[in-house]
Every structure is written in C-alpha cells, then in structure tokens.
Structure 1
Amino acid sequence: MSDSPAGVVDLLGVLAYAELTAFLRLAEDAAALAPSLTDRAELSGIAAAEYAHFRLLRDRISSLGADPERAMEPFVAALDDWHAQTRPGDWWEALIKAYVGTGIAGDFYREAARQVDPRTRALVDEVLAEEVRSEFVIERVRAALAEDATLCGRLALWARRMVGEALSQGHRLAAARPELALLLVAGGREAAPEGGAAPPAGGVDAGLIEVGRLFARLTEEHGKRMAALGLVPGP
C-alpha cells in the first residue's frame, strides 16, 4: 500500500495512463494518416516522447509505494472512451487532437499539480511540456490553412469537439475521484510536503465547485491554442 495521499497517486495514475494511451494513439495515427515519411517520423518521435513520459510517471508511482497498474486502472474506461469518441478521420484532425485535445487535458493535470509536493509537481511539468508538439502542429496546420482556407471551419469545429469531450471526461473523473478533485481547489495554499497533497479547504463539495471555475480557465487556454493555429483571430 502507498503512504502517499490518494489524490497524488490518482494524479500520477491518470497522467500515466494518459501518456500511455497518447503514445499508442499517436503511433497509430503516424502509421495510418501521415501524408509523408517526414510527417510519419515527426509524429512517431512525439509518440516516443510520450512513452518516455509514461515510464517516468510509472517509476514515480512505484517510488511512492503504490502499484502503477492499480493507480491507472480507475481511469482506463474514461480515457479509452475519450479516445473512442475523438478518433480522427484524417491527418489534420489527428494533429488538432494531438495539440488541442492533449493540451487541454494537460492543463487539467497541471492545475492539479499546483497542489502537490515539489518533486511531483516538477515531474508533471516535465511530462506535460508541449514545445515540440506545439511547433510541429502549428507549422503544419498553418501551412495547410494557407493553401486551403476551407479547412478552417472544419478544423475549428473539430477542435471545439475536442474541448467538449475533454471537459466532459474531466467532470466524470473529478466526480468519481474526489481526492483528485480536491487537488484542483485553488486558494494559494503552501506547497505540500514530499509525496503529499496540500490540506483540503472546504471538503469534497467545495473541491467540485472549484472544478467548474477551473474549466473556465481551461477554456481560456484553449482559445490561445486556437489562435496559435490560426483557427480564430488572436488577441
């Protein structure tokens, strides 16, 4: 059994499974949808990075005395459902999912990590770094829009679907795992000690209320990604 609070193990578990499934889906999209060998190689490289992140998270879970498979298991159904509901139909949809869909999910986990111990928070920040993915997707999508402006409406609609599905799954996870929801409570609390979570403020109900406010911030970050892609006007 783990001596670490359940919320911390939940956060690492959901993120570990998210990284594992991201690796599998990106590798599948690279093989099936990439229009060139260069694109296939680029997306495969991003997939390989996701698997490396999964291994880091798995090892961190083990170091806390928890079983990685048990830590991931509660999140399998929700994340598998999300992938099933957002299966891309072509290369451009795959890129939007890799950037927008994965990005808003990462924002969710990053917010939760603000309330955990410094070592865990640093690991979450490391595995959620999206510079390489962002540069690749933004370059490809902007070039495509310059050649075919009719793509804009379709991809913008697809991106909105990504956000809707991600927020729906976020609600589902938070409601099912109240310890994870409590990590999302903002309030300027001091950083938690090693392997721990900051003390909850207001209990589970207050945590779930704060999740709603969190989703407003996630939507704002989504808007920034859309502007970077050229799918909406920038600020």
Structure 2
Amino acid sequence: MFPQIRRSTLPFMNESPGVVDLLGVLAYAELSAYARMTEDAATLAPTLADRAALSELAVTEYAHFRLLRDRLARLGADPDEAMSPFVGALDAWHAQTRPGDWLQALVKTYVGDGIALDFYREAARHLDPSIAELVDEVLVDEERSQFAVERVRAGIQAAPTKAGRLALWARRLVGEALSQGQQVASARPELATLLVSGEGAADISRLFATLTEAHNKRMAAMGL
C-alpha cells in the first residue's frame, strides 16, 4: 500500500536517536521565549528603553526559532510535529513561573531559562558536530545575560531588601526547571539517552554538577 522509502530519503533517520526531539524542544522553547519576552516588554518593562531592549532580545529568540525550524525541515521532519510533544510541559512551566514584576521576569529569563537550556546544551555534546554547533548557536545568551544581570544588580542596589525575595524566586525557578526537564526526559526516552554517553550514574552525576555550577555562577553574577 505504501511505497518503499530508502533510508537516505529521510535525512533525520540517519541522525542519532533523539535529534529531532532535541531540535523540536529547543524550537518550541525559543518560540515560547519570543512570545514571553514580547509580553514582558509590553506589560512589565518600567521604561521605554527597557521595553526596546527586551523586544530586541525577543527578536533574537525568534531568529533562533527559525534556524531550528529550518534545520528540522532539511532533516525531513515536520517542525510542528517535532515541537508538539513538548508544548504541554513548556507551557505548564511558564504558567507555573509567571513573574509578578520586572525583576522577577529578568531573573526567570536568566536563571530559570538558563538552567533549562543547560539540559539541552549537554544533550548536544553527544551529537554530530553540525547539530552541536547549531545548538550552541541558538543557546548563546551573552546579550540576554548581560541585560538581565545589569538590570537586576541595579534593582538590588536601589532596593537591597529585594535580594532575598529574588533569591527565593530563583530557587523556585530552578526546582520547576529541573522538574520540567525530568518530565520531558521521561516522556521522550530517545532524548533522555542523549544526556548520558554510556556511563550511567557517572554521567548523571556529572550533569547535575555542571548544572549546579552554572546556576551558582548566574546567581553570583546577579548578586544573589
């Protein structure tokens, strides 16, 4: 009934298991980041300069989404189908961690999103260099990090009592992000296998050590 399809006609079938899942979850994460930053810029930014700066960062996130979507298409995968398994988990994460003010929004952008994306950066370590390079490109957050750090440090300097509340918020974000990562990994076993290279518990220990170290550096950079 169905024509025979040679393996070479579906490029993504030649990639490591989980590649389409990884690019799919990243594509939806970038699309969600674009939508959230746009909303935060319009509703939470205290100045027009802040609104403009965050809007520019949102445009960058959308450009990253397009890169991932186009790569999925070139691999022979349907981008919508690749993203759809992750919509529920990522939408739930954003609903559970909706910021109450500007500084909370910045901490979420820097700390919460940062540790979530660290999962996927680690997963890409085991992939073909061309895929790993793409993941590194879309996860570069130098401008976003600098923007968030400068604004949060300025906010704490102006009102030191906010530091404790923001530190608690950051811890909550990390807990929710780790929970989200576990849910995604358990729902998509092929994606989970990218996080380990065959050493089992040793790889898991290294992963969490890497995530913890990166989180501590982000907290220190913000002065929390």
TM-score, normalised to structure 1's length? Answer: 0.87
Q: Does 1:227 align with 2:220?
A: yes
CA distance in 1, matches of 2:143, 2:176: 24
State the shift of 1:147 in Å. 1.2
CA distance in 2, matches of 1:87, 1:228: 22
State the shift of 1:217 in Å. 2.1
Of residues 107, 112, 115, the one that matches 1:96 is 107
Of residues 36, 45, 57, the one that matches 2:68 is 57
Structure 1 residues 3-12 or 219-228, which shifts more? 3-12
Number of aligned pairs?
A: 213
Of residues 21, 32, 36, the one that matches 1:10 is 21
Alpha-carbon contact 2:16-2:127 (below 8 Å) kept: no
Alpha-carbon contact 1:167-1:215 (below 8 Å) kept: no
* Secondary structure of 1:65's aligned partner: coil
Percent identical among aligned pairs is: 66
CA distance in 1, matches of 2:207, 2:175: 14
The runs of 4+ residues in structure 1 deviating greater than 3 Å are 209-213
Of residues 173, 197, 213, the one that matches 2:184 is 173
CA distance in 1, matches of 2:50, 2:179: 31
Of residues 104, 110, 134, the one that matches 1:123 is 134
State the shift of 1:213 in Å. 4.6
* Unaligned residue ranges in structure 2 (runs of 5+): 1-9
Counterpart of 1:229, as a letter, is: M
State the shift of 1:5 in Å. 3.8
1:19-168 mapped onto 2 (5 Å cutoff): 19-168=30-179
What is residue 214 of structure 1 aligned with on the other side? 207
Cα deviation per residue 1:177-227 (whole Å; 9 max; x = unaligned)? 1111111114xxxxxxxxxxxxxx37xxx48x8446523321221011000
* Secondary structure of 2:18's aligned partner: helix
CA distance in 2, matches of 1:70, 1:5: 18
* Secondary structure of 1:88's aligned partner: coil
* Unaligned residue ranges in structure 1 (runs of 5+): 187-200
Cα deviation per residue 1:39-61 (whole Å; 9 max; x = unaligned)? 00000111110000000000011
Residues 1:126 and 1:116: Cα distance change in structure 2 (over 3 Å): same
1:200-211 mapped onto 2 (5 Å cutoff): 201=198, 206=200, 210-211=203-204
CA distance in 2, matches of 1:16, 1:149: 37
TM-score, normalised to structure 2's length? Answer: 0.91
What is residue 190 of structure 1 aligned with on the other side? none
* Secondary structure of 1:125's aligned partner: helix
